[in-house]
Amino acid sequence: MIAFVFTNRSPRSGGGSHAIGRGLREKAEYIGAVAGLAGGVLAGILGSLLTGASWVVTDAGARHLLAVMGTTLLFLTIPLIIFGACCMDWVDKGKSSRHSNVASYEEEEEERFQRGLARTSMTAEDHRRETSEKQNEGD
Calculate ∠ Cα 76-23-18, nearest 5°.
Answer: 125
> Does residue 97 form part of some domain?
no
> Does residue 18 form part of some domain?
no
Its pTM stands at 0.54
> Does residue 53 form part of some domain?
yes
> Does residue 68 form part of some domain?
yes
The tens digit of pLDDT for each residue in 19-66 reads 667 788 888 889 999 999 999 999 999 999 999 999 999 899 999 999
> Does residue 57 form part of some domain?
yes
Number of domains in the chain: 1
> Does residue 61 form part of some domain?
yes
> Does residue 66 form part of some domain?
yes
Q: Which domain holds residue 43?
A: 32-92
* Four-CA torsion 50, 55, 58, 64, nearest 10 degrees: 60
Q: What is the DSSP string of 23-36?
A: HHHHHHHHHHHHHH
The tens digit of pLDDT for each residue in 88-104 reads 998 888 776 555 555 55
> Does residue 43 form part of some domain?
yes
